[in-house]
Amino acid sequence: EYPLFYYGRIILHNQPSVEAAKFISFFLSQEVQERVLSGTALTPVSPLIPTEIEALTAHIQQTHLISSRGLVLSGQIFAGIALFLVGVRFISSSLKKVANRRIQKLFSRWSDNLGVGALWGFLSGAVAQSSSSAAFVLTGMVAGNIMKMKSALYILSWAEIGTTLLVFLATWNLNLAILYFLSISGLLYAFDKKGKHQQILLAMFGLGLLLFGFDMIKSTAADLAQTLWIQNMMEMGTELPILLFLLGAVLRTLTQSSSTVALLAIPMAHAGIIDLNQVLLTFSGATAGSGISGIIMSSSISGMSRQVALVKSFADFSSSIVLVMLLQISMFIGDNSLNLIFKFLGNTVEEKAVWGFLFVKVMPGLIMLSLTTPLKRIAERFSPPSRVETLARLKFVQENALQDPDTALQLTAKESDRVVSRLPSYLQPLRKEESDIQVHGELNDLHQAATELNGAINEIFTELFGQDMRKNDAETLIHIQNQHRIQENLEQQLYELTILLGQDLKNQELAKAQQMMIEGLHAILTFAAGTVEKTDIQDLKLLLNMTGDRSGLVAGMRKSYLGGSEIISPDSRSTFLHMTNVYQRIVWLLNSWTQSRINIVQSETN
């Protein structure tokens, strides 16, 4: 207060007013106020002496230092958030690429084991010191079909409990371990020249970035918990309890750790500033802050990837409401009711507060597990599955469907047919003359979904070939796999052709040719999709004739449109030639696919 004493004298000397008096009464203690105002009564004071000027200069320099420090702290917090979000993106994208059925079954078996899931969740919460980081790791696994939603919520409920270990021990410092993990995973990813384990290493590196970002946020924001204004708010909370709730929510949102809130509130209770009831009110505010943090941090993702975080946030909000209601009931019954409840858990207020913190962390997990279905429905309403996620999801082949090879063959064939039934949709936007943004958006969604679905179907083929089956079933499986390989290539070529057909060749005649190809190919693809819905050997033979050799037709088209006298730019000429080549290749692939399908129908008939 020494610099503020002279700062108060300057204000009174230069601008004696009520505002000056308010400044002094707000910032200075009663003793210093009396020293400033003694004998002056808001009259000008004596001129400043050199020591006063020196003190004032030091105060100004300190103010600038605090301002600079604030910029540094805010920069570190934003950098931590950025690293966290990048880590989430790396984990989700890499796990999607390595999520074959073998890994899915392995993780599903682990996560379905209650003991393993509980241990995994508890350790992840204890190591990360935050259930939010565990939530976003599990989010990537659910999005990658590696884990079920219910299993993820079970693990997450134990992660909530794991975070209490820090409060019990209060000695954990994982900064060094996180730095080593980040550096080792980053170096392994950088020097993986063959790229065999690239996606796994990228997921590990993303996990390192996520944890490092969390550590930056917590280590930077932890200084806020030691500031005088927060401690003053804790004291004010004794008179206005809502401030304790809000303080807990704000601190949890900023620090990304409920343990930080607990480690601040418990010493305040030990000092007698707040009682056990008010400590638990602060903890309930931290629970609400956890829900707020989950919504904020998941705002950059959508679809199924966000649903785990939303379910956790909704459970946090529900838990916070229940806790506040219980505290209100306790206060209505009597101030000693909580002490009676926690009497058997500890003798001191600190011990009771620690067990109270454990109870507060258990509550969201119980809500998540008991209300999984309604919470999931609410999360789906706020973050419905994206179009890609819906289209790429297996519809017929479930987890245990491959135990019977005969049934598995039929279901796998249905999954493969879904890709063909969507092919007419690739060209549909071009027929409606929609904007380029709409065309490319719908096309990219269809292509990405087809790529993911084809990959899942190929994993099923690999698993089926490893099972014992009859000779006829094995031959049928080979035919279905060959047909699927053809339609994989067909989908890729159609995706490329659709992009070409959407280009403006800046020539009216070529535009007519483009539209003819669009309409003709769309008609053929629509007919092919119809043979999938209802298999008829006569329709397949008709489709075989429709997709016969068209080399003469394509050659005539090139000669007719490119051999005229009208000037066509080199780029347009090259694009049109490439377009007709891809068109011819697609028709040939459709013919091969039809012949393969005829072979399958005939083999099933025989």
pLDDT value at 194 more than 60: yes
Ramachandran region, residue 41 (left: φ > 0; alpha: ψ -120 to 50; beta: rest)? left
The tokens for 235 are 């004291």
Planar angle of CA 366, 370, 375, nearest 5 degrees: 105
What is the C-alpha to C-alpha distance for residues 386 and 382, in angstroms, rounded to an integer? 12
- DSSP H or E stretch at residue 299: none
Query: Given this model, what pLDDT does residue 494 score?
Result: 93
Model confidence at 41, in pLDDT bands (50, 70, 90)?
Answer: very low
> Is a pLDDT exceeding 90 seen at residue 28?
no
In terms of Cα–Cα distance, which of 513, 525, 519, 509 is closest to 565?
509
Residues in the chain: 606
Judge whether residue 541 has pLDDT over 60: yes
Q: How far apart are CA 244 and CA 18, in angstroms?
A: 32
What average pLDDT score do residues 58-77 get? 56
Using CA atoms, how far apart are residues 118 and 52, in angstroms rounded to an integer? 63
Q: Is the pLDDT of residue 431 over 80?
A: no
* Range from 8-12, 178-182, 187-191, 562-566 carrying the lowest mean pLDDT: 8-12
Is the pLDDT at 38 greater than 60? The verdict is: no
Reported confidence tier of residue 490, pLDDT bands at 50, 70, 90 = very high
Q: What is the pLDDT of residue 385?
A: 81
Band the pLDDT of 43: cuts 50, 70, 90. very low
In whole angstroms, how large is the CA radius of gyration of the chain? Answer: 34
351: which 2 tokens? 């011990």
Look up residue 311 and give its two tokens: 């379910």
The Cα 256–Cα 166 span in angstroms is 14
pLDDT, mean of residues 29-58: 48
Which pTM was predicted? 0.58
Going by the DSSP 8-state scheme, the letter that residue 347 receives in this structure is S
Mean pLDDT of 342-365: 77
Say yes or no to pLDDT of 476 above 50. yes
CA distance 324 to 283: 10
Rounded Cα distance, 309 and 313, in Å: 6
Comparing 135 with 430, the larger pLDDT belongs to 430
Assign 268 a pLDDT band (cuts: 50, 70, 90).
low
Q: What dihedral do alpha carbons 486, 487, 493, 497 form, nearest 10°?
A: 140
Q: For helices 131-143 and 276-297, what crossing angle results, to 10°? A: 30
Give me the helices (H) in 466-569, please. 471-501, 508-533, 537-546, 551-562
Position 133 pLDDT exceeds 70:
no
Q: For the chain, give the percent of residues with pLDDT over 70.
A: 65
Higher pLDDT: 589 or 303? It is 589
Statement: residue 489 has pLDDT above 90: yes
275-291 average pLDDT score? 87
Looking up tokens 């949709």 gives 425
Q: Which of 101-115, 144-158, 225-239, 310-324 has the highest average model confidence (pLDDT)?
A: 310-324
CA distance 240 to 223: 24
Q: Can you tell me whether residue 584 is helix, strand or coil?
A: helix
The pLDDT assigned to 486 comes to: 92
CA distances from 188 to 88, 99, 373 (A): 19, 21, 41
Picking from 86, 360, 390, the residue whose alpha carbon sits closest to that of residue 208 is 86
The pLDDT value recorded for residue 87 is 76
Mind giving me the DSSP string for 350-412?
A: HHHHHHHHHHHHHHHHHHHHHTHHHHHHHHHHHSPPPHHHHHHS-SS--TTGGGSHHHHHHHH
Give the mean pLDDT of the chain: 74
First to last CA, the chain: 98
Say yes or no to pLDDT of 8 above 70.
Answer: no
Question: Averaging pLDDT over each range in 158-162, 428-432, 449-453, 492-496, which range is the top one?
Answer: 492-496
Q: pLDDT of 231-251, one tens digit each?
A: 566 566 666 778 888 888 888
Closest CA to 414 of 533, 526, 530, 528: 533
Q: Over the stretch 308-351, which tens digit does the pLDDT of each residue have?
A: 888 888 989 999 999 888 888 877 776 566 666 666 666 677 77
Confidence class of residue 586 from pLDDT cuts 50, 70 and 90? very high
Task: Name the token pair of 517.
Answer: 């190809």
Distance between CA 473 and CA 402 in Å, rounded? 13
How would residue 485 be classed by pLDDT, with cut points 50, 70 and 90? Answer: very high
Q: Check whether 367 has a pLDDT greater than 80.
A: yes
State percent of the chain over pLDDT 90.
5
Band the pLDDT of 453: cuts 50, 70, 90: confident
3 state SS of 504: coil
369 or 99, greater pLDDT? 369
C-alpha 569: how far from chain center: 47
Q: Is the pLDDT of residue 25 over 60?
A: no
Given a contact cutoff of 8 angstroms between Cβ atoms, the answer to whether 596 and 486 are in contact is: yes
Residue 67 has pLDDT above 50, yes or no: no
CA dihedral 447, 451, 453, 455 (to 10 degrees): 180
Res. 16: pLDDT tops 60: no
d(CA 242, CA 450) in angstroms, rounded, equals 52
**Best mean pLDDT range from 15-29, 58-72, 448-462, 550-564:** 448-462
Distance CA 367, CA 150 (A): 12
Tell me which residue of 275, 309, 380 sits closest to 92, measured CA to CA: 309
Question: Is 136 exposed, middle or buried, given 0-12, 13-18 or 19+ CB atoms closer than 10 A?
Answer: buried
Check pLDDT > 80 for residue 216: no
